[in-house]
Structure 1
Amino acid sequence: MRMYATDVTLRVGVSHARATLPELLDFVHRTGFPAERVTTLLADWDDAPSVYTAKTTKLVLRRDRLAG
Structure 2
Amino acid sequence: MPVVGIPLCVECGTRSNPCRCKVVGPTLGFLAFAVAAAVEWPVGALVYCFRHIKGRRIMAHPAAVVYPAVSNAFPI
TM over 0.5: no
Q: TM-score, normalised by structure 1?
A: 0.27
**TM-score normalized by structure 2?**
0.26
Q: Which has the larger radius of gyration?
A: 1
Highest relative contact order (Cα 8 Å, sep 6+), 1 or 2?
Answer: 2
Please state which structure has a larger fraction of its residues in helix: 2
- The structure carrying a bigger strand percent of its residues is 1
